Structures are given as C-alpha cells and as structure tokens.
C-alpha cells in the first residue's frame, strides 16, 4: 500500500478550540495508518507547533501574506509536493481558500473543516471566496449540523454537499485539581469555570453579571475563565459590578483537564458556537454544565437531559440556573454523570478519527464515505 500522508493546514499557531481539535486528530491518525504533517504560519506564539511536535507530528512553517497572494498559493502547492502529501485538509476560512487552490495546483484531493463562527459571512467577497473553495474541494466538513445548515445557506450550497463530523476528544481524567490552591480560594468556596477565548461572542460578561447577582446568596462564589484574548473588557465589567476579587482570568491554559477538575460547575455563556471542545471536555470530566442553547450545544446536552440550557445573553436565566445547581449539589452531580455517559457514547476521539479516515479514503478513491458507519 502506498504511503498515506495528510497535510493539516491552519492559519494560526495559538491555543484555541480548532487548534486543539487539530492536535487530537493529527496525533491519532497514525493509529489508522495515516501520517500527518502540519503546515502552520510563522510569527505566532507557537503553542500549536509545540503541541503537535509533542504528539509526534512534523511541522513546517509558511509566511502568510495579506490580504491576497497568488504567489502564496504557489508556495503552498510546492510545500504539498515536497512533503508528498496524499490529501490536504484545511481548517477554517483562510486556509480553506488557499488550501483548495494549492491542492488543485498540486493535483491532490482537498477537504476543509469549518469549526463554528460565521466571521466569513460579514463580507460578500469572503462568502464568494469560501464558495469557490467549496467548489474546488472534494469535501466540505462542518463540526455540527447547525454549522452545516449555516454554511449551506451562506455559500448557496445544497446541504447534501456538506458532511457533518462532530468533534471528538480523548477521555482524559486529571490526577490534579490544583486550581483552587493556585487561586488561594478559601475552604467551602464554590468555583464556576468557563473555557473559551475572551471574545465578546463567548459571552463571558453575561457570566460575570450573573455571578454578581448571586454574591448575597452564595458569598463564597468565584468564577475562573481560561482563554486567550483581551482581558480588559471582562476585567472592567467585573470591577464595575464589584466582583473583581471573585473573577479570575487565567489566560490560555494547556491543562484544561486540571482546570475542569477544580470546578463545581462548568459554564458556557456563548452567543454563538459550533460544537465546542471545551463543552465536550467538561462532559467527559462529569462536570455539571450550564450552557447557552446555541449551535449544536442543545444536541450535545440531549436538549437539557445532560446539562442545563439557557437562552444566550439572558443574565437572569443564567443566574437562576447557577443558583439552582449551587443549591442542589446532589442534583448537580447527577447531571454531571449524565453528561459523562453522553460524551462517552457519542463524542469519543476514536469516532471522530474514524470518520475523517473514511473521508480521506473516499476522496483518494480507496473507499466510499458513509456518514455514521
């Protein structure tokens, strides 16, 4: 059998949800007979490079010019040829566009995955560029049915043209739960944890506002938010509400399992999502979950059976849900156990990897892709 090599292309080299999914996928593909090579940009903080190399994945860096460069597509095609790539797999908008172009020049199949946000949809030329990428690609993947439906609508594509492959994560258990000691929390303190970039769409300010409403009923309540981005808006909100000493902005954390193990409740107050890895990791960690009913989140949480769902941006509903779980620890524990069972049955890493392997084999003529088989 000829060597099977897949290039994983992404426009960032930082710690984020799509990047962590790429690490899980690229590292696990070797168990299925595929070798991953990652093509990443120069000049970022290097988290993804380090994580991939630790997982045994080779990395090559490129320089990404702005705003548009046919020369870059040619350079990328040469990289694919030099690495003897069998399939190019791009992640998110920029590399979906350039990856499709470069793969066509290199004469190899191309697939791309969109992970959630509709940032590409604000400008018509970006939607047209992504539609062109879809037309040049052998497969378009969405991480959830909600993302699939939005893509089909935004790009004027038939939904059947887009494949849904849900994210998957390894079932990791943390031997450590050191965050409380790190933060110096007193005994008996209750800790809510959120994991996500500090962008407005993640809704962290609504979580801070909800916590501010609960301090009288729960005087030992704290919230810790892990994620990269500008801390100032969230910190300013916390200070204005008088809860700055209760809101802990952790920055990017590679030890997500440790952060989750320290939590009494996991909160996902986002205004928009696809199928966030942090939610799946919280489910595997058996944390009681309160999440906005956006994207594929209601499906992941079995429409409220495996976690509490609240309307996005509704501070009162979020505060009420937090209050109820904080007051019913036994019920909260049962909810977390239900989430863990749901995650193990549906969102394991092996299921995601198997789906991508079947897709790669289909586009290379080695098999026929059958979703869910």
pLDDT at position 373, please? 37
Q: State the pLDDT confidence band at 367, using cuts at 50, 70 and 90.
A: low
Q: Tell me: pLDDT of 254 over 70.
A: yes
Q: Is the pLDDT of residue 58 over 70?
A: yes
Residue 175 CA to residue 65 CA, distance in Å, equals 43
Measured distance CA(267)–CA(195) in Å, rounded: 8
pLDDT at 369: 59
The reported pLDDT for the residue numbered 115 is 94
pLDDT value at 172 more than 90: no
Q: What mean pLDDT comes out for the span 188-214? A: 97
**Residue 8: pLDDT above 60?**
yes
Report the pLDDT value the prediction gives residue 132, as an integer from 0 to 100: 98
Residue 176, pLDDT > 80, answer: no
Give the pLDDT of residue 175: 60
Compute the mean pLDDT over every residue in the chain, rounded to the nearest whole number.
Answer: 94
Query: Mean pLDDT over residues 93-114, rounded?
Result: 98
Average pLDDT estimate for 277-294:
97
pLDDT band per the 50, 70, 90 thresholds, residue 95 = very high
Residue 186 DSSP label: P
Contacts 24+ apart (CB under 8 A), 352-357: 352/24, 352/25, 352/165, 352/166, 352/167, 352/168, 353/25, 353/28, 353/29, 353/31, 353/32, 353/168, 354/32, 355/165, 356/25, 356/29, 356/89, 356/165, 357/29, 357/32, 357/34
| Nearest of 196, 265, 186 to residue 225 by alpha carbon | 196
pLDDT in tens, 63-92: 999 889 999 999 999 999 999 999 999 999
The per-residue pLDDT for 368 is 56
Q: Are 191 and 264 contacting, i.e. CB atoms less than 8 angstroms apart?
A: yes
The answer to whether domain 179-346 has CATH 3.30.43.10 is no
Q: Exposed, middle or buried, 145 (CB in 10 Å: 0-12/13-18/19+)?
A: middle
Identical fold, 5-168+348-363 and 179-346 = yes
The percentage of the chain sitting over the pLDDT mark of 70, rounded to a whole number, equals: 97
Confidence of residue 9 (pLDDT cuts 50, 70, 90): very high
Beta carbons of 80 and 66 less than 8 angstroms apart = no
pLDDT tens digit sequence for 321-366? 999 999 998 999 999 999 999 999 999 999 999 999 999 999 999 6
Three-state DSSP class for residue 76:
helix
pLDDT at 171: 83
Tens-digit pLDDT profile for residues 115-135:
988 889 889 999 999 999 999
Higher pLDDT, 73 or 174: 73
| Overall average pLDDT of the 267-291 stretch | 96
User: Which of 271, 275, 269, 316 minimizes the C-alpha distance to 290?
Assistant: 269
pLDDT at 372: 42
Confidence check: pLDDT of 284 > 90:
yes
Q: Which residue carries 């916390």 as its tokens?
A: 238
Domain layout of the chain by residue ranges? 5-168+348-363, 179-346
Whether the upstream peptide bond of residue 140 has omega within 30° of 0, thus cis, is no
Reported as a pLDDT band with limits 50, 70 and 90, residue 247 is very high
Asked if 118 contacts 72 with a C-beta cutoff of 8 angstroms, the reply is no
CATH topology of domain 5-168+348-363: Rossmann fold (3.40.50)
Query: Quick one: pLDDT at residue 174?
Result: 62
**Main-chain phi, psi angles of 83, to 5 degrees:** -85, 0
In three-state secondary structure terms, 114 is strand
Identify the pLDDT of residue 371: 53
Between 371 and 38, the more confident residue is 38
Q: With bands split at pLDDT 50, 70 and 90, how would you rate the model's confidence at 177? A: confident
**Cα angle for residues 140, 144, 150 (degrees, 5° grid):** 70
Cβ-Cβ contacts under 8 Å for 183 (sequence gap 6 or more): 191, 222, 224, 248
């Amino acid at each position: 059998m000829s060597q099977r090599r897949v290039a994983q292309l992404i426009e960032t080299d930082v710690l984020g949800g799509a990047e962590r999914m790429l690490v899980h996928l690229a590292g696990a593909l070797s168990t299925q007979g595929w070798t991953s090579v990652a093509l990443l940009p120069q000049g970022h903080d290097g988290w993804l490079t380090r994580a991939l190399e630790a997982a045994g994945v080779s990395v090559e860096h490129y320089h990404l010019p702005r705003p548009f460069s046919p020369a870059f597509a040619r350079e990328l095609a040469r990289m694919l040829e030099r690495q003897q790539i069998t399939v190019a797999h791009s992640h998110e908008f920029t590399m979906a566009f350039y990856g499709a172009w470069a793969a066509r020049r290199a004469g190899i199949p191309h697939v791309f995955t969109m992970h959630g946000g509709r940032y590409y949809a604000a400008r018509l030329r970006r939607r047209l560029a992504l539609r062109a990428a879809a037309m040049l690609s052998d497969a378009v993947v969405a991480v959830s049915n909600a993302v699939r439906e939005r893509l089909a609508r935004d790009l004027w594509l038939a939904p059947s043209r887009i494949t849904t492959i849900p994210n998957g994560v390894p079932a990791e258990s943390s031997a450590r739960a050191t965050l409380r000691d790190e933060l110096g929390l007193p005994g008996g303190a209750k800790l809510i944890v959120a994991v996500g970039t500090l962008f407005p769409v993640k809704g962290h300010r609504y979580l801070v506002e909800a916590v501010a409403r609960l301090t009288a009923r729960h005087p030992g309540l704290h919230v810790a938010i892990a994620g990269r981005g500008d801390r100032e808006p969230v910190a300013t909100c916390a200070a204005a509400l008088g809860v700055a000493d209760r809101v802990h902005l952790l920055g990017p954390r590679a030890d997500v399992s440790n952060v989750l193990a320290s939590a009494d409740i996991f909160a996902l107050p986002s205004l928009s999502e696809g199928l966030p890895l942090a939610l799946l990791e919280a489910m595997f960690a058996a944390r009681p979950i309160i999440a906005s009913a956006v994207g594929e989140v209601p499906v992941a949480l079995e429409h409220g059976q495996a976690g509490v769902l609240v309307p996005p941006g509704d501070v009162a509903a979020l505060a009420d849900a937090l209050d109820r779980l904080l007051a019913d620890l036994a019920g909260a524990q049962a909810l977390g156990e239900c989430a863990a069972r749901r995650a193990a049955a549906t969102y394991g890493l092996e299921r995601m990897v198997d789906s991508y392997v079947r897709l790669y084999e289909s586009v290379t003529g080695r098999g026929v892709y059958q979703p869910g088989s």
